[in-house]
Chain A
Amino acid sequence: MFDDFFIRALVAGIGVAFVTGPLGCFVIWRRLSYFGDTLAHSALLGVTLAFTMEFNIAISVFVISSIIALILIQLQKKTNLPGDALLGLLAHSSLAVGLVVIGFLTFIRFDIMGLLFGDILAVSVNDLLIIWIGGALILLVLKLIWKPLFASTVNYELAEAEGLNPDRAKAIFTILMAAIIAISIKMVGLLLITGMLIIPAAMARNLSSSPQSMVIYSIIGGLLSVIIGLFTSLEFNTSSGPSIITAALLLFILSLFKIKQTIKLKN
């Protein structure tokens, strides 16, 4: 069944969408879109290291992204620079270092476009296992930390006062972000992963009135984006990442009409 590359890509994409849906909601609620971008940019360094040491790409990306997240937390404590400046510093320097390292690795042929924008031909059965097992783990952990994470997103002091340990939830969530980037890099490409997190969730916000419904709409939006995007990619021979994100954008635009209607009804 998984012999066909397109079926593999579809199954992989569906697995990714199930995880990016709920995580994307938190990215929007906690205003972490630029943080997600930074982790994704640093993933290139992880990929190059994986090639150099002939190591699994997903694990290598996960490790590097986690390290970048730790460095960010340390820099926030030790410097007076604003958060967005630190994020920009880490995002672009890690992307640059990653590209420089690629320049040195002349003995390996790199598909840079595939890395940056995703490549459905590159998804192996092994990748499917990583996406579905890794994805299930991410969702399980997210479910476990949901209460403290959500409560502290609404109000940190309430969560802390009522004994929910929001700092630990935040740290675990950072690791989950690194993990989703690691498992979705082959599908969406590192430049567009944040789009996969944010756009379906943004669409969902337009349609929902409670956090749970926003998560569900966000998953549905992600699934539709993947399916529409991949079929387009197959049909028109476009990169998988941009096709998926364009599909997500179209869904977002459609969701705007729902807002217009609601406003009309209110008036």
Chain B
Amino acid sequence: MSTDQNILVKLNDAGLQLNNKWLVKGVSLQVEKGKIVTLIGPNGSGKSTTAKIALGIYKKIDGSVEKYTNKVGYVPQKISIDWTLPLRVNDFMMLTESLNKDTIDEALSLTGVIHLKDKNLGDLSGGEFQRVLLARAISKKPDLLVLDEPVQGVDFTGEIALYELIKKISDELSCGILLISHDLHTVMSATDHVVCLNGHVCCSGSPMDVAKNNEYKALFGEQASQILSRYEHKHDHIHTDEGEIKKN
């Protein structure tokens, strides 16, 4: 019973089909309070789609999603903002929830962009904007954080600092985090549970379990513990255009 109360979002055999093609299929996972669940997998394996299913952005899905909180912070992978809108960083911070000045300043300081507070959103660099996105998501002190490649475009030292920050936030706010990351180092060190996707769940478990898993090795190669320079993808099955899975 106590573990059930900690569940923030739960996917039961969830999938999404668009134009008769499965983007992702049969995903079951759950995010609990204070835990970090990381989705890994090659490009096009359905990581972002799975995150959006968990957030309830897609309405017509297969399977089901049970969401137990409305306090959600989201950092999308791609965000297209119309720059004709006059929007400063400070306005953007209050986009979905009104926050007081101290809360905004604190979040912007944590991600190292407090000096950009009054700048126009359109004038930021990619990495700066990414830090603002993360600051916005954490400033609401959410129960559930969904971070879709939250440090893309951030410089190397910043990347490490931000991942440490994410880990710290998870501990301090005891919020659950659904993280999508390409950095296997981070995945292995900071994550409680890894889900390896490739259009479906290849394998999942603790980072060590997954690292030992044969499918994982097939997906990422033997040198998976090294920095991910190649994304080789070998498999015991192939995916047809309809999204069906066939054994070799």
Contacts and interface: CB of A to CB of B under 8 A. Distances in A.
A214 B88 CA distance: 12
Contacts of A151: 95-96
B7 to A, nearest CB: 17
Given A155-B80, A157-B57, A209 B88 contact: yes
Interface in B53-71: 55-57, 70
Contacts of A153: 82, 85
A159 B56 CA distance: 11
A154 B57 contact: no
The size class of the interface chain A forms with chain B is: 20 to 34
A209 to B, nearest CB: 5
Contact of A205 (B57, B81, B86, B97): B86
A164 B96 contact: yes
Contacts of A158: 74, 76, 79, 95-96
B91 interface: yes
B56 A160 contact: yes
B55 to A, nearest CB: 4
- Which DSSP category, helix, strand, loop or mixed, fits chain B's interface? loop
Interface string B87-105: 1100110011110000000
B87 A161 contact: no
- Which DSSP category, helix, strand, loop or mixed, fits chain A's interface? helix
A160 B55 contact: yes
Contacts of B72: 161-163
B206 to A, nearest CB: 28
Contacts of A162: 72-74, 96-97, 140
Contacts of B84: 28-29, 205
B120 A209 contact: yes
A29 B91 CA distance: 15
A210 B87 contact: yes
Nearest to B119: A209
A154 B81 contact: yes
B217 interface: no
B151 to A, nearest CB: 18
B204 to A, nearest CB: 23
A168 interface: no
B52 interface: yes
Given A151-B96, A154-B95, A157-B52, A210 B86 contact: yes
A208 interface: yes
A150 interface: yes
A44 to B, nearest CB: 31
Contact of A29 (B55, B57, B85, B120): B85
B39 interface: no
B86 A211 contact: yes
B198 to A, nearest CB: 24
Contacts of A210: 86-88, 91
B146 interface: yes
Contact of A213 (B52, B76, B86): B86
B96 A159 contact: yes
Contacts of B73: 162
A13 B87 CA distance: 30
B139 to A, nearest CB: 12
Interface of A: 28-29, 147, 150-151, 153-155, 157-164, 205, 208-214
26 contacts: A29-B82, A150-B95, A151-B96, A153-B82, A154-B92, A155-B80, A157-B52, A157-B57, A158-B76, A158-B79, A158-B96, A159-B95, A159-B96, A160-B56, A161-B55, A161-B56, A161-B57, A161-B72, A162-B72, A162-B74, A162-B97, A163-B70, A205-B84, A209-B120, A211-B85, A211-B86
